[in-house]
Structure 1
Amino acid sequence: MQRRQLLQSALALAGASAAPWAFAQSDYPHQPIRWVVPYPAGGGTDVLARTVAEALRGPLGQQIVVDNRPGASTNIGAQLVATAKPDGYTLMSADNALLAFNEHLFSKLPFHPEKDFTYIGGLSRFPLALVVNPAFEAKTLKDFLAYARANPGKLNYASPGNGSPHHLAMEMFKHRTKTFLTHIPYRGAAPALQDVMGGQVPCMFLDLAAGLPVIQAGKVRALAIGAAQRVAALPDVPTLAEAGVPDTEVYAFQGVVAPAGLPAPITQRLNAEINRALAAPDVVRRMKDFGMEALPGTPEQFRAMARAESKRWGEIIRAAGVKLD
């Protein structure tokens, strides 16, 4: 009898201590949600976050406030989120830099992308294309490779900065093709693209989220695209594999993470609502305008993809000797 009373008391105490948190989960969300974007306002990552956040506002019944925290190759925003309370009220846009590149580019990070975040789900991916100034003599990828091999080290390429997907895409391309091009890093995609269009630098890898309009307008010429299949918006542009450079798929991807320890019911709720938002007509249209491909799926699928990308790009980063500290 005494043992039964002790057991009942213990269960009652456990239920009492769990009740507030269980209520918090069942009542989620009951206050506005902060969505951290580790880039300045106005870029592709920011626009996508705001587009999806607006689509989530109705189903979740709460305002989602986008908080831009740029700097240090996403590390400033990432550290903020990694140390936040795992209650579902702090989310973050997470891309290649945070989830695949930085653990290889920096000797020390104040967080680990696999251990310090809860993976909620993917948002989008978009391929990068190798583009040249229209006046550049290479009209095809075969011509480009012939020129690069005849002029080792003399062919410059632009990027938005050291360690960017555009920079590392070219490093992978160089590794696969055994060519040597000289890197000219810029402070952002806009000035890099401006100089390629102006002819100051002949080429770069350009993401379609920013580059599709200028390619279609003929301001740069796309030689090949780093996708598994041709892109519907650019049907005449071959993939890198079709043009003779296999195993060189280069995408920028984005998804959503939260602090580690986010309760499973909240993770599942957010994942389900994000997947539904990605199918909403306004979101589909906006993503199409940016050349993005929706990336719905489970949290486990998003984590597996990100870790596979980290392994793949880690090999390229080590081979190229790229470091950001």
Structure 2
Amino acid sequence: MQRRHFLAAGAAAIATPWSALAQSWPDQPVRWVVPYPAGGGTDVIARALAEALRPSLGQQVVVDNRPGAATNIGGDLVAHAKPDGYTVLSADNAILAFNEHLFGKLPFSPEKDFSYLGAIGRFPLALVVHPSFPAKTVQEFIAYAKANPGKVNYGSPGNGSPHHLAMELFKNRTGTFITHIPYRGMAPALQDVMGGQVPCMFLDLAGGLSVMQSGKVRVLAIGSAQRAPALPNVPTLAESGVRDTEVFAFQGVLGPAGLPEAIVSRFNGELNKALASPDVRKRAADFGMEVLPGTPAQFKAMARAEAKRWGPIIQAAGVKLD
């Protein structure tokens, strides 16, 4: 009996500081690092979440844009930050799944150097063509590409982007030879597809939904498992006969490794509440984003599964960024 009382008292003594830590954090502003320039989809969502988190955290959440090196600059900053809960990171496919395969050496390990705080959501990617392109369906597109090997170009925001790798996966699954034209960002790539200088690309709903709905590009298929609510008449790639080609850009929040579990749990709970707020829901719908509330463990499992899925595709395509 005495031993049970001793163990119970010890457990309470251990639990109390953790509970107190969760209640006292944060007592100063939280820096939210976005590894992209201001104004893009990742930045807009981060700012909406930062605003939604402010009342419940009782502190400002300040967005700090740190673009460059395929998001590795922002990732490196957060991976080596003090694990006190005051520096977090918007992370997407690049840090979570791609870069470990694209770079021979990274300044951090995606699996070991971060605390996974929670998923935000995912944006399906869609195969789009200029309205003058002769193909009106995915199967017509495949037939045209096979009849003109190497003569069909596709644009992307840059080497190693989800849009680039989505087309490499599509080529792998369909046996087509389509030539990559990398741009420095989404805007110039999309501008040239709308202008007809480049006939096609994979375009994410976050950056291109309004363009798709306006008819400035023709949407052949969506790369999600189900049809997108924002584009209900557009078939999925699977419905179009291209299996195992689910392609999307996804986002979540990371902190440096070693964050106290109490802070991880508190942040995750507040993030899930923020994802349910009307303003964030509206912005997500405007971007065609599916929000993904859940636990840190679920987020990490999804990220590691995506890293495993994309490794062979990147290797087969021979894509390297260093």
Q: Which of these residues, 177, 193, 200, is aligned with residue 180 of structure 1?
A: 177
**Is 1:213 paired with 2:210?**
yes
Tell me how far apart the structure 1 counterparts of residues 77 and 18 of structure 2 sit (CA, whole Å). 23
**Matched residue SS, 1:291:** coil
Give the superposition deviation at 1:233: 1.4
TM-score by length of 2: 0.94
The AA in structure 1 aligned to 2:218 is R
Q: Give 1:95-114 correspondences, 5 Å limit.
A: 95-114=92-111
1:315, distance to aligned residue in structure 2 (A) = 1.1
Instruction: Give the CA deviation at 1:186.
Output: 0.1
* Aligned amino acid, residue 305 of structure 1: M
Kindly provide the amino acid, as one letter, of the partner of residue 220 in structure 1: V
Counterpart of 1:167, as a letter, is H
1:191 to 188, 192, 195: 188
Aligned-partner Cα distance in 1 for 2:207–2:142: 25
Q: Give the C-alpha shift of residue 232 in structure 1.
A: 1.4
Q: Which stretches in structure 1 are left out of the alignment for 5+ residues?
A: 1-10
SS state at 1:124 partner = strand
CA distance in 1, matches of 2:22, 2:63: 22
Q: Whole-Å Cα distance in 2 between the matches of residues 26 and 269 of structure 1?
A: 9
Q: Which of 302, 307, 319 lines up with 1:305 in the alignment?
A: 302
Segments ≥4 residues shifted beyond 2 Å:
18-26
Alignment partner for residue 42 of structure 2, among 30, 33, 45? 45
> What is the percentage of aligned positions where both structures have the same residue?
74
Counterpart Cα distance in 2 of 1:253 and 1:180: 27
Shift of residue 25, structure 1, vs aligned partner: 4.5
Cα offset for 1:26?
A: 3.7
Residue number in structure 1 paired with 2:84: 87
The CA deviation at 1:151 is 0.6
1:177-256, aligned counterparts within 5 Å? Answer: 177-256=174-253
Pair 1:244–1:90, CA change in 2 (3 A): same
Contact 2:18 2:262 in 1 (8 A): no
1:108-166 deviations in whole A, cap 9, x for unaligned? 01100000000000001010000000011111111100000001111000000000000
Q: Distance in 1 between matches of 2:17 and 2:229?
A: 51
What is the match of residue 54 of structure 2? 57
Report the Cα distance in structure 1 between the residues aligned to 2:195 and 2:68, rounded to whole angstroms: 28
In the alignment of these two chains, the number of paired residues is 311
Structure 2 CA distance, aligned partners of 1:124 and 1:28?
Answer: 25
Which letter maps to 1:206? L
Tell me which amino acid in the other structure corresponds to 1:261: G
Taking the aligned partners of 1:285 and 1:21, their CA distance within structure 2 comes to 35
The alignment partner of 1:236 has SS state of: coil
2:312 is aligned with what amino acid? E
Q: Give structure 2 stretches of 5+ with no counterpart.
A: 1-9
With normalisation by structure 1, the TM-score equals 0.93
